Amino acid sequence: MKIGEYDVDLIETCRFALDGGAMFGVVPKNLWSRAYPHFDEQNRIAMSARALLIRGNGNTIVVDAGCGGKMGEKLESIYALDNSVYTLDGELARHGVGLEDVTHFIYTHLHFDHAGGSTRIDSSGETVPTFPYARHFVQKDQLTWARNPTDKDRASFMPENWEPVARQDLLSTIDGDGEFLPGIELRTVHGHTRAMQMVIVNGSGGEDAPGGLVYCADLIPTSAHLPFPYMMGYDNFPLTTLEEKKRFLPEAFERRWLLCFEHDAFTHAARIIAGKRGFEIAGTVDL
């Protein structure tokens, strides 16, 4: 899809699953299971880990990389990791993008289901950056947080997902919001984890065209997380997430942004409207 000056695609990297209760926090199962009716006998919900591919002005930018392929059997079984249909390399190749072509890689944050695919094990058994020529970007406070995690989110941060990138001097830190490249903005939020960054591609502002596209990362991981209290139990600071959703969703509606849901296995992206009981989906789009 063309957004402003860029071609934008969502790239499937895998299927996996997380506990439905943990994904919906305080919302009881009889409610979340109606909003997202896709769970297995272990109560795990079916999830995507979609990367965002942005191409234009000579740049090939990838945002997030899914779980990757180096978690080991035990974790793969806990998270029901499935690469039988989708892999990051395979889906990029299908879009005509080789791993060497990527010029910029943006980590929204360093949790394993976002950062895992940014490194891989090479033929000599060494863990190396997946995108050998890309400059990688992460928020400075997120990197500090990931290197000193709390007991609550320690299991989500696996240093092998970013330290090989840092060791090869391919990792740059960014401090706060701002323009990343012309037409592409970064916006930080802090409720899920410290300094997670969302990526906004600005639209051309035409009558029917979306005003822009937002890669929401874990602020709104699936379309079922649009209602304000539908928040993840994984969030470190849930009241901050609540404030951030209350600021973000009215702006997204006002500016006619297309919201991309990184973890929704069924809905890629949607425009929203202000309904009677909060913000609702106005129409979905497959990218």
Nearer to Zn ion, 128 or 233 (CB): 233
By CB under 5 A, residue 235 contacts Zn ion: no
By CB under 5 A, residue 15 contacts Zn ion: no
* CA-atom Rg of the chain in angstroms: 18
Binder among 91, 218, 244, 262 for Zn ion (CB under 5 A): 218
Closest CA to 235 of 274, 284, 191: 191
By CB under 5 A, residue 64 contacts Zn ion: no
The distance of closest approach from Cβ of residue 219 to Zn ion in the complex, given in angstroms and rounded to an integer, is 10
The window from 73-81, 104-112, 222-230, 269-277 that contacts Zn ion (CB under 5 A) reads: 104-112
Nearer to Zn ion, 202 or 264 (CB): 264
Strand order in the sheet with 59-63: 2-3, 6-11, 51-56, 59-63, 104-106, 135-139, 171-174
By CB under 5 A, residue 44 contacts Zn ion: no
Nearer to Zn ion, 232 or 270 (CB): 232
By CB under 5 A, residue 268 contacts Zn ion: no
The distance of closest approach from Cβ of residue 241 to Zn ion in the complex, given in angstroms and rounded to an integer, is 11
Residues in the chain: 287
The distance of closest approach from Cβ of residue 109 to Zn ion in the complex, given in angstroms and rounded to an integer, is 6
Q: Contact, 244 vs 220, CB < 8 A?
A: no
Nearer to Zn ion, 3 or 231 (CB): 231
Binder among 15, 55, 104, 111 for Zn ion (CB under 5 A): 111
Nearer to Zn ion, 9 or 218 (CB): 218
By CB under 5 A, residue 141 contacts Zn ion: no
By CB under 5 A, residue 104 contacts Zn ion: no
Contact set with Zn ion (CB under 5 A): 111, 218
